[in-house]
């Protein structure tokens, strides 16, 4: 990763080694919550932020750098007796580098819409991290914190997300024995927590994870110094990911999430490519966003 040496940091900023890894911006939408019930949720946003941002999720030293992420939580109708249902948008991003220096630009790492989160929230009741006992609220947050960490680490180092993806998968296993089991199982929705975690720990999809690393560390991070080489690596990674869809699973949640996250970035970055014919290749690789690639191919 593009991090300063641990010894250097420890000598100058010893407090940084205890710093937490995530900086999550949480927003909530209470439009569908009855006005009489909204007072119970007045601290919900700050409670979630505190839980995510003040826990030490890893033993890694990030040199004081925090992973930037967000959760937009939309409460759905039907709340009753401290039980709620929400849709949640989860996003994360990281800096783009030129050598060891930040460029001031960012690349989006993760964009997920989780369509159904059911949980119980009682004001002033503390949230606890417990890897052995399932809690619908805490474990939902733990699941996505681990996905964010895993994908971020894997954008710098091959397969570095393994322990975090395994934790996310374990949470799915614990949820199976809970009253909330149905939303954690594989379902025919546009997104499934179990399917996502299952694919991430399945050796069949290791080629995706290696391509994900190459796309970022050997592609995006190379664009400022060797534009053509970076784009060539990105194209190779994209084609490798598309090949998994053809040969293994056309309905892969993992692959769908990648292209849903990256299609706009891909379309924009390949404007630098000397051959506009590349957009035909991008269309073949990611047919769900072909209209965007066709539009950019005409620029």
Instruction: Report pLDDT digits (tens) over 98-109.
Output: 999 999 999 999
Domain membership of residue 117 (yes or no) is: no
Is residue 293 a part of any domain in this protein?
yes
> What pLDDT, on the 0 to 100 scale, is given for residue 37?
86
pLDDT at position 109 is 98
Q: Does residue 280 sit within a domain?
A: yes
Region 58-76: what's the mean pLDDT? Answer: 93
What DSSP string describes 28-91? EE-TTS-GGGGGGGTTHHHHHHHHHHTS---S---TT--EEEEEEEEEPS--BTTEEEEEEEEE
CB 106 within 8 A of CB 64: no
Taking the CA atoms of residue 55, residue 59, residue 65 and residue 69 in that order, the dihedral angle to the nearest 10 degrees is: -50
Residue 272's pLDDT is 96
Single out the residue of 54, 147, 61, 64 nearest to residue 109, CA to CA: 147
296 is in which domain, residue-wise? 208-299
pLDDT at site 13: 36
Q: What is the average pLDDT value for the chain, to the nearest integer?
A: 91
Closest-CA residue to 267 (of 232, 238, 298, 292): 292
The closest of 288, 277, 287, 284 to 296, measured between CA atoms, is 277
Into how many domains does the chain fold? 1
Which residues are within 8 A (CB) of 39 and not within 5 positions of it... i.e. 6 or more apart? none
By DSSP bridging, strand 22-29 and strand 67-75 are parallel
Other C-beta atoms within 10 Å of 133: how many? 10
In a domain, 251, yes or no: yes
Q: Report if residue 221 sits inside a domain.
A: yes
pLDDT tens digits for range 11-31: 333 333 345 899 999 999 999
φ and ψ of 271, to 5 deg: -65, -20
């Amino acid at each position: 990763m593009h991090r300063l040496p641990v010894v250097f940091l420890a000598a100058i900023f010893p407090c940084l080694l205890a710093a937490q890894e995530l900086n999550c911006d949480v927003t909530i939408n209470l439009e569908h919550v009855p006005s009489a019930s909204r007072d119970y949720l007045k601290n919900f946003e700050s409670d979630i932020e505190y839980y995510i941002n003040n826990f030490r999720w890893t033993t890694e030293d990030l040199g004081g750098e925090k992973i930037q992420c967000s959760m937009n939580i939309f409460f759905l109708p039907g709340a009753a007796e401290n039980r709620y249902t929400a849709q949640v948008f989860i996003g994360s991003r990281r800096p783009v580098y030129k050598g060891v220096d930040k460029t001031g630009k960012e690349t989006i790492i993760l964009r997920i819409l989780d369509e159904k989160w059911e949980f119980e929230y009682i004001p002033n009741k503390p949230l606890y991290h417990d890897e052995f006992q399932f809690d619908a609220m805490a474990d939902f947050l733990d699941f996505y914190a681990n996905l964010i960490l895993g994908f971020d680490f894997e954008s710098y180092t091959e397969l570095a997300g393994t322990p975090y993806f395994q934790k996310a998968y374990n949470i799915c296993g614990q949820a199976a024995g809970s009253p909330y089991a149905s939303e954690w199982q594989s379902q025919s929705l546009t997104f499934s927590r179990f399917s996502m975690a299952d694919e991430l720990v399945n050796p069949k999809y290791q080629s995706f994870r290696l391509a994900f690393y190459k796309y970022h560390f050997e592609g995006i991070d190379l664009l400022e110094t060797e534009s053509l080489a970076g784009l060539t690596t990105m194209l190779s990674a994209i084609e490798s990911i598309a090949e998994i869809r053809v040969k293994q699973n056309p309905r892969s949640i993992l692959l769908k999430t990648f292209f849903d996250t990256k299609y706009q970035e891909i379309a924009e970055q390949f404007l630098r490519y000397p051959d506009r014919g590349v957009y035909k290749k991008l269309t073949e690789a990611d047919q769900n966003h072909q209209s965007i690639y066709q539009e950019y191919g005409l620029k």
